[in-house]
Structures are given as C-alpha cells and as structure tokens.
Amino acid sequence: MPTRANAHRQGRVSLSLCTKTEQSVNGAAACRGKGRGERNFLHPCGLRPTFVGRLGCCPAARETARSWRLRSDPLNLAGHARRRESVITTPNDASQHLPSTIVIGAGVIGLALAWRLAQAGCRVSVYDRGEAGHGASWAAAGMLAAAAETEPGEEALLSLTRESQRLWPEFARELEAATGLPVGYRDEGTLVVALNRDDAETLRHSYEFQRRLGLDLQWLSAFEARRREPHLKPGVAAAVFSPADHQVDNRCLAHALVAACRGAGVALYEHCAVREVLFAGGRAAGVATERGDARADIVVLAAGAWSREIAGIPPAHLPPVRPIKGQMLALQMDPRAPLLRHVVWAPRSYMVPRSDGRLIVGGTVEERGFDTALTAGGMLALLEGAWRAVPAIEELPIAETWVGFRPGSRDDAPMLGPSGIDGLAVATGHHRNGILLTPVTAALMSAYVLSDRLSQLARPFDPRRFAAPGVSGQAEAAQ
C-alpha cells in the first residue's frame, strides 16, 4: 500500500478533494434521478443524543446520556418503534442564549454544521463564493476509509476518523429521513489490491501496522480477492479486505445537506463571497460580503482551501491551509452489470463504483496551488493505474474529468475549534478526509459553538497548535 510520501510519485490521491473544474455536471441529475422506487432508503432513525455528552462538552447532554438506554433505545420502545434524535442536545435552560452563527463555506462540512446548529435552535447563515456543495464536496470520491488509509503517525487522527465512521450510518439515515433524498451510502467494503510480489510485501507491512491498531482487516489470497471481484486482473498477488470502509455518493450528499439546511431554516447565500471578517470590541462580529454586511455572535471559517483568502483576520490567526491539486475522472459502466462492487485501491489509483454506473477513478496529488489544468500525464497515470488492476475498463467511455483542491494542513490533520480570537472558530484542513469526517465535525463544532468548550476528542486538532508562542493565549478560557 503506498504511503503519503510516495503518493506523489505514484499518482495516488486520497479521499477528499476540495473544489473542482468540471467537464460535465451530470452528478446532480444522477442524484435527483434516484427515488424510492430505485433503492431502499435507510431507516429514518436519528443520531443518538449521548454523543455530545460522551465527548464531555455539554453538561445537559451528560444527563441525557444517563437516561438514554431506558428512554430512547429504539428496542425499549413498544413495538420496536424508532424515534429520530439529533446529535445536538439543546440546553435544558430554555432561557439560555443560542448564538447566531455565520458559516463561511457551503461545502459538506459547513452545511452539516449549519444543519446541526439550526436543529439546536440557532439562527444560522451560510455564505459561499459559488454554488452550495459544488466545491470540495462535488470533486471528492466519497470514500469512508478510516482503516485502509491509516498510516504511521496518524494514531490521533484515527480516533477521529473511526468515530466519524461509526456515526455515518445513522447520519445517513437521519439525513435521508429529513429530506427524502438518497445519499448513496453503500457498505460493501473496500479491497486494497497487490498486483505483484513487491506490492504484496508493501501491503503486508501496512496490513500488520493497521492490525496492531485494532482495525478490522482481512488478508485475502489471490483466489479470494478474485472471487470477490472477478474483473481484477488474472495473477493478482493478494488483497486486504476492509469491511468497515464504506462509501457515500458525495454529490448526492451535498444535495441532501442543502435541502436539510433549507428545511431547518438556514439562510443560504450562494454566489456571495465573504470579503472580510468584521470585528468589534476585540471579537468577531460578522462578515462583509458582496451584498453588504451581516452580523452574528459567532463566525465559523469553513472555506476549505480558500480559508486563508478571507480578509480581516490577523495573519497570526489564519489557519495554515493550502490547496493540494487532484485530477480525477469518471468512467461509465453498465449499471445493470458493473465491473466492480467494492471500492478498490490499486497501487497507483483507486476506483469507486456508483449505483448509477459511474466508476470514479482517482487521483493525482500535486502541489501546484490553484492550477485548474487537466493534464495528459495526470489522466494517463489514473487510467494506467486503474487498467493494470481491472483491464476491462479499457472498453468503458470516459464520462467526466475534473480537478479539485484538497485543503491540506501542515500535519495533514483537520483544524477544529477556536482560532485564538473570540467569536471566530475554524473547521477546515480536512485534506483527504472531508467526506469521512463530516458527521463528527458537525457534532464537535456544533457542540463547541453551543457550549464554548472544545471536547477531548477534538483537542488534538485545535487550530492553535500551529500558533507561534504567545499567540494562542487569549482564547485558553474557551476550553
């Protein structure tokens, strides 16, 4: 399995791309075209109210956690009836002030956070420079690979990704129940394939490291791998099966989150760039946009790779995020007879099959700033890497090509929580894990906005870890 260090050489990319330059926009129609007659919706039960209490950031939720089993466990209700609960537990004191919030960025991270805050009763506005859900979220592959992508040095990140992976099934159910829209959640699992003996040695090393972390992985012989995916090339050396690494259709997810936000009363301003964060009395007090100024108690910066381009924030408090370019493409399979059922990682590319027949192939990893050019070399690397693993793709038409920009941080981990300035919070830097981390980011950041306390799970990802000595001191009370 390739490491991040050699991903540049091999043309491999990771989970979440951030923004895009698209050659077609057929994903929206694909999401709208799916209905109840074409797939079974996940059951409309919601997220458990114990999550925030278990994070230790909301006293009211801790009390809720003690009574959850008797009161809210669906199996304890007559007739096994289900009830929908939110991860956000509203304070018991009805007079407690709920902060008005502005979210900068309408990707899945910003939209999911806005939805959770609106569910809790907050007045929420979201601003985006383009169409909602058409940046990071549109360009991603939608893999929820907490296990297969874990590398040495990512133990702290693993605790976050595994918690979000655990939340995903109920998050998808709740979102589908709230909107009536599918999100394309699939649980066939992920195969990581070794094509030759050298690949198998690298894969064995990664497998043993990941197993020591307690991850549920299965080593497969060549025969077992081809039994799961018959179109893998003859002579494949070995594979690892990760049953917990699922996928979601990121474009359908974006559409559903937009609908959920609007249904919850979120004010969504598309094609309305935030020019500047406004301050008053030493704290963030709102934003200046192309349509005028807007005021709020809390401003959350969730603008992905563009987070440093928002004016008004002192340089010492800007999140150290940069764009990491990725080129991707989609092939068109016959949806009645798809070549693949699982997400498949090959040494130099990955392939993600969609229910509508698209086969997502990704992607390159390039430090080229906001360069939107598709290149012959990038497309060749992707197609060759996929073809070496699944030769039958050579007969498939190319349906779409695009470029995206992942928001990378200095340590490739997200930045969640206080910026060091009162009233200004940060939720960015998710790099390849934006789709995977959507549920847990929404839960952690909404809990922080509501309680002004950062949970234990989020503290390793405090944005102030990058601050120069003495810069982060003013916001220590927030914890």
In this model, does residue 60 exceed pLDDT 60? Answer: no
Q: Are residues 238 and 326 in the same domain?
A: yes
Q: Are residues 382 and 259 in the same domain?
A: no
In contact, 400 and 330? CB cutoff 8 Å: yes
Q: Which of 364, 390, 408 is the last residue of a domain?
A: 408
Q: Are residues 200 and 65 in the same domain?
A: no
Q: Give the model confidence (pLDDT) of 442-471 as tens digits.
A: 999 999 999 999 999 999 999 999 987 765
Q: Domain for residue 380, yes or no? A: yes
Q: Which of 384, 408, 432 is the last residue of a domain?
A: 408
In contact, 105 and 415? CB cutoff 8 Å: no
In this model, does residue 151 exceed pLDDT 80? Answer: yes
Predicted pLDDT of residue 97 = 84
Q: Domain for residue 35, yes or no? A: no
Q: Are residues 357 and 302 in the same domain?
A: no
Q: Are residues 258 and 269 in the same domain?
A: yes
Q: What is the pTM of this model?
A: 0.81
Q: Are residues 474 and 423 in the same domain?
A: yes
Q: Domain for residue 28, yes or no? A: no
Q: Domain for residue 390, yes or no? A: yes
Among the ranges given (74-83, 193-202, 400-409), the one the predictor scored with the smallest mean pLDDT:
74-83
Predicted pLDDT of residue 31 = 61
In contact, 329 and 436? CB cutoff 8 Å: no
Q: Domain for residue 66, yes or no? A: yes
Q: Domain for residue 158, yes or no? A: no
Predicted pLDDT of residue 467 = 86
Q: Are residues 13 and 64 in the same domain?
A: no
Predicted pLDDT of residue 145 = 96
In contact, 247 and 257? CB cutoff 8 Å: no
Q: Are residues 258 and 221 in the same domain?
A: no
CA distance 475 to 472: 6
Beta strands, E only, 206-308: 218-221, 238-242, 246-247, 267-269, 274-280, 283-289, 292-295, 298-301
Q: Are residues 288 and 394 in the same domain?
A: no
CB burial of residue 82 (10 Å; 0-12, 13-18, 19+): middle
3-state SS class at 216: coil
What is the CATH classification number for the domain harbouring 225? Answer: 3.30.9.10
Domain count, the chain: 2
Q: Give the model confidence (pLDDT) of 16-48 as tens digits.
A: 333 333 333 344 445 644 443 333 333 333 333
Q: Are residues 403 and 437 in the same domain?
A: no
Q: Give the model confidence (pLDDT) of 436-445 as tens digits.
A: 999 999 999 9
Q: Which domain holds residue 214?
A: 4-23+186-246+322-408
Q: Are residues 200 and 327 in the same domain?
A: yes
Predicted pLDDT of residue 96 = 67
What is the CATH classification number for the domain harbouring 449? Answer: 3.50.50.60
Q: Domain for residue 15, yes or no? A: yes
CA distance 176 to 185: 10
Phi-psi region of 234 (alpha: psi -120 to 50; beta: other; left: phi over 0): beta
CA distance 15 to 352: 11
Q: Which of 379, 408, 437 is the last residue of a domain?
A: 408
β-strand 298-301 against 424-428: which pairing, if any? parallel
